[in-house]
Amino acid sequence: MKKYLPAILIGVYAVFITLSLIAGFQPGKDVAGNFLEYTISMIKILPCAFILIGLFEVWIRREVIEKHLGKDSRFMGYFWAILLGSATVGPMIVSLPIAQSLYKKGASMRIIFAYLGASAVCRIPMTIFEASCMGVKFTIVRYAVSIPLILVFAAFYGRHLDNKHYALAED
């Protein structure tokens, strides 16, 4: 049963959408429209993102990542992680393959957590939009609270996983 659960859930979803479209059930039609819109935006973004990730894999040497983002990187590793995370464009689904690539090239877990936190919170396009809508003062306060929390939790979780000798599974 567990083996077939994803297929069952997809089937239930498809039946729900089909019946909603036939019966004119507006919430179901909205779900279908949102799903289609999100799928189209992912089809536009993901190929470019994966090409850039592939180029990152090929062009950036492991030694560079180990030096700047590895276990001995200290504060500058966090700086580079936040800078890289803030420059990441697109949804979080783009950040995860980059994080895996960083891990495979020798980045420490604490730096990877800092990168993921920064890519979720500190993206430049999001910051510009936020500053224009909410005001610069709000954006500064949010950064003043968010960045230290990202760094503290990244260090904590990185140290915790290092103590447990955690390693990601290889491909």
Please tell me the predicted confidence (pLDDT) of residue 97. 87
Q: With 90 as the cut, is the pLDDT of residue 166 above it?
A: no
Q: What DSSP character marks residue 70?
A: S
Q: Is residue 97 within 8 Å of 128, Cβ to Cβ?
A: no
For the record, the structure tokens of 126 come out as 């999001």
Residue 36 has pLDDT above 80, yes or no: yes
The CA angle 151-160-154, to the nearest 5 degrees, is 15
Where does the pLDDT of residue 171 fall: very low under 50, low under 70, confident under 90, or very high at 90 and above? low
Q: What is the tens place of the pLDDT at every residue in 112-124?
A: 999 999 999 998 8
The pLDDT tens digits for 9-32 are 999 999 999 999 999 999 999 999
